[in-house]
Amino acid sequence: MKIKTYILLTLLMTGSSLLFAQNRDSIIIYGSNSCNHCINLKSSLDSAAIVYTFYDVDINPAKEKEMIDKLRNHKIRGNITLPVVDVNGEELLIKATFESLSKSLKKTD
């Protein structure tokens, strides 16, 4: 059985605080440093002090292949818009936003 470490984070959004538990090291972002959606997501996560791993698939072919393999394993085909986010190794978010990722993390609590 996998033991999960949880960190409680308080996020300040529009003057109110939102509290949720986040599984440490469970967010992998496949994106590009030239992608505005990717830059915005990383900035929001950094501001909220949420831990994640980022791979630039434009310069890292091995991680691009890893992303494509995960998409195939989840039976996701066709045109894909970055960022692609792997949440806990269970869910892939396409063109993920801070809001969609927050909802996904709440589901895994």
Task: Take residue 5 and report the two structure tokens written for it.
Answer: 């470490």
pLDDT tens digits, 51-103: 999 999 999 999 999 999 999 999 999 999 999 999 999 999 999 999 999 99
pLDDT tens-digit series, residues 15-47: 333 334 444 548 999 999 999 999 999 999 999
In one letter, which amino acid is 81?
T
Residue 108 has pLDDT above 60, yes or no: yes
Is 0.85 surpassed by the pTM of this model? no
pLDDT at site 47: 96
